[in-house]
Amino acid sequence: MKLQRFQEIAGRYPDLRVALVGDFCLDRYLEIDPARREVSIETGREVHNVVRVRSQPGGAGTILNNLAALGVGTIYPVGFCGEDGEGYELLRALQSRKGVELGHFLQTPARRTFTYCKPLVVGSDGPPVELNRLDSKNWTPTPPEIERTLAGALRGLAAAGGVDAVILLDQVDLPETGVVTRALLEVVRAIARERPELLVLADSRRGLREFPPVTFKMNAAELARLTGAEGVPGALGVAENFSLVTVQETAAALARRNGQRVFVTLAERGMVGAAADGRVEQVGALPVRGPIDIVGAGDAVTANLTAALAAGATVREALVAASCAASLVIHQLGTTGTATVAEIGALLPE
């Protein structure tokens, strides 16, 4: 794809309306200055002195950050946070993003705010070093009244003329404790039947086996587990053991079976996309230009695939845009980064 064609596609982004349904969390970074090392008098243990705290939306919020960076006109988060300090920080961060409408985002005492607290040792002699994370999650099922409220919000947004695309992100490890529960997936299933022309793109860290047939985005390991590809182990890092031909054939078969597009990320080997009729496209990854941090790359891919497809891009054009965005994001260290239209365009030929 050449720059002019990308600019034509991206020129439609300000008119897009996207519903983002999923697990929003707070990414809180604690920047530690190793030069200010102390020892606690009380415990005798080393003290990590935090010299800067910064917070930003994480989880589904990382996709939101990327949609906002692309200039998508209206973004509707559908999710929840707790009535706690982290919830206050998350809401403030969401409100700061251009185009975000928070009318369907709940703050409730029945849930804790999903939080990734990331201590970073920041020195002058190299990239930040992340220490063990301190996570806050929900360990009990999402209350039915919250499920009903979120399902109603999604139904309203997905009604004819409501939005141009819906993104589903299931980020929790323990089923039924987040936003994308079985009850919400039944609503998605009904929407897919009622509005087959509506772009619904789904991604889940626990796999898409229980999801209705919508546009799937996954990595190679998730594709192997979902389809039971013969001879392919199900562990992370499977990409190097899963031949490109096998990925293409498996993605094509899944796309034909579901009648929906399938996208597969392959780390340094790029990405594969299969159209609903099984036609396959593949784009390579851009060269690495220095130290990298892969956190957030998948969410940048999700945002760019959705925006491009909703704006009329072909499968290949969407793959190219997403590949450029991923390349930009992995070179942003110590943060879950974003990519703008101008930055993506700078990587495309004239």
* Euclidean distance between CA atoms 19 and 24, whole angstroms: 13
pLDDT at 142 over 80: yes
Provide the strand spans (E) within 154-301: 165-170, 199-204, 215-219, 262-265, 271-274, 280-283
Least confident of 107-121, 189-203, 323-337: 323-337
Residues 173-198: what's their mean pLDDT? 97
pLDDT at 231 over 50: no
* Euclidean distance between CA atoms 146 and 7, whole angstroms: 40
What average pLDDT does the chain have?
Answer: 93
Query: What pLDDT score was predicted for residue 241?
Result: 61
Q: Is CATH 3.40.1190.20 the classification given to domain 3-38+46-345?
A: yes
Strand-strand pairing, 199-204 and 74-82: unpaired
* Euclidean distance between CA atoms 202 and 210, whole angstroms: 11
Expressed in angstroms, the distance from the first to the final Cα of the chain is: 9
Q: What share of the chain is helix, strand, coil (3-state, %, to 5)?
A: 35, 25, 40
3-state secondary structure of 199: strand
* Residue in the structure block whose two tokens are 């530690």: 32
pLDDT in tens, 232-252: 444 444 445 678 899 999 999
CA dihedral over 34, 338, 93, 306, signed as positive or negative:
negative
Torsion of Cα atoms, 188 then 194 then 197 then 203, to 10°: 10
Q: Domain boundaries in the chain?
A: 3-38+46-345
Least confident of 57-61, 319-323, 333-337: 333-337
**Using an 8 Å Cβ cutoff, are 160 and 194 in contact?**
no
pLDDT in tens, 268-279: 899 999 999 999
- Token representation of residue 343: 């930055």
DSSP per-residue string spanning 24-60 = EEEEEEEEE-GGG-EE-TTT-PEE--EEEEEEEEEEH
